Structures are given as C-alpha cells and as structure tokens.
C-alpha cells in the first residue's frame, strides 16, 4: 500500500487528501477545516510521522514481542520452544531476535528466518514439519 498522507506545502503539517476532498477544501492545506472534520487530525499527524519513518528506513516491524514463545528448528529436525529475550542488530545478518530455551542457552535469529526455521505458534511449526513430510499424520 502506498502512502496515505501528504505534507503541506510548508512541510509543517500532514493531511489526508481523501478527507480534504470530502471536507471540500480539496487538499489546499486549509487546516482550519480539520478542526471541523470528523476525521481526527491527530490520527493523520501520527500516521504521517510513521510514514515518514518508513520512507527513511527508520521504522522496524518486529516479528514478535519480548516474552513471546517461538518455535525454533533444531538440527535434529524437531522444534524447540524458546522465549524472546531481546532484539539485536548485526552487520552480517541484520535485525535478530535473541531467544533462550531449555534446549540451548541463547541464539540470535535473523528476522528473515520467521516462517522458515522459526514460527510464532506450535501449529505453524507442526504444519511445516508435515509439509516437508517429516511427521506422519
């Protein structure tokens, strides 16, 4: 999906063009009408800030949160339950989750491994095993 908001000509405010069309100012930057609009301008401003961060490469979408349980593929082929303890960044592999388990002390797992060797639910991990024919139904 593309950007939803635009910046005013003086780059001090954000606006939602579709909203302005409905309000009758047609994206002219008449922010006085925003106060009359049913669309909350603070939502538009916040969304604009997030879109700016995304365009600048400063917005990180985490695959999970601290404390989540994930399922990590082991060399044996089985999955180990692991707890997300931290997030880190390495030049060699990018952003990683730091997990610990009773099966291993600590691992740094790149975000791009989610859906391949790391799964958010036991069901997803089991489905991966079945898909690869590693578990009999």
Q: Do 76 and 48 share a structural domain?
A: no
In this prediction, residue 10 carries a pLDDT of 78
Say if 1 falls within a structural domain: no
Q: In this predicted model, which residue has the larger pLDDT, 62 or 29?
A: 62
In angstroms, the CA 47 to CA 4 distance is: 8
120, 77: one domain: yes
CATH code, domain with 85: 2.40.50
DSSP-H helix ranges across the chain:
17-23, 41-55, 122-131
Measuring CA to CA, how many Å separate 87 from each of 10, 16, 38, 96? 38, 34, 39, 6
The pTM assigned to this predicted structure is 0.67
Residue 63 lies in a domain: no
**73/44 same-domain check:** no
The answer to whether position 62 is within a domain reads no
46 and 83 inside one domain: no
75 in the same domain as 37:
no
Q: How many domains does the chain have?
A: 2
pLDDT at 117: 94
79 shares its domain with 46: no
Model confidence band, residue 22 (pLDDT cutoffs 50, 70, 90): low
User: Do the domain assignments include residue 61?
Assistant: no
Distance CA 114, CA 65 (A): 13
- pLDDT value of position 89: 94
Q: Are 19 and 37 in contact (CB under 8 A)?
A: yes
* Nearest in space to 89 (alpha carbons), one of 110, 65, 74: 110
Q: What is the pLDDT of residues 1-15, one digit of tens each?
A: 677 777 777 777 777
Give the tens place of pLDDT for each residue, 40-82: 667 777 888 899 999 999 998 899 999 999 999 998 888 999 9
Minimal CA–CA distance to 91: which of 108, 105, 74?
A: 108
> Which domain range does residue 37 map to?
6-55
**Average of per-residue pLDDT values in the chain:** 83
Please name the residue that has the structure tokens 């994930």. Answer: 70
| pLDDT at site 33 | 61
Give per-residue burial for 68-95: e unless 16+ CB within 10 Å, then b.
eebbbbeeeeebbebebeebeeeeeeeb
pLDDT of residue 56: 93
- Residue 15's pLDDT is 73
One domain, residues 80 and 35: no
Q: What percent of the chain has pLDDT over 90?
A: 50
Question: 74 with 122, same domain?
Answer: yes
Same-domain check for residues 83 and 38: no
Q: Specify whether 34 is located in the same domain as 77.
A: no
């Amino acid at each position: 999906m593309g950007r939803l908001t635009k910046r005013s000509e003086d780059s001090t405010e954000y606006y939602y063009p579709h909203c302005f069309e409905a309000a009758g100012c047609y994206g002219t930057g008449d922010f006085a009408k925003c106060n009359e609009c049913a669309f909350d301008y603070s939502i538009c401003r916040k969304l604009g800030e997030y879109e700016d961060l995304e365009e600048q490469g400063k917005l990180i979408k985490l695959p999970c949160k601290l404390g989540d349980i994930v399922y990590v593929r082991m060399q044996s082929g089985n999955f180990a339950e692991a707890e997300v303890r931290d997030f880190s960044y390495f030049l060699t592999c990018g952003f990683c989750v730091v997990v610990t388990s009773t099966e291993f002390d600590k691992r740094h797992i790149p975000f791009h491994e989610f859906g391949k060797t790391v799964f958010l639910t036991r069901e997803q991990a089991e489905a991966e095993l079945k898909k690869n024919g590693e578990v009999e139904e």
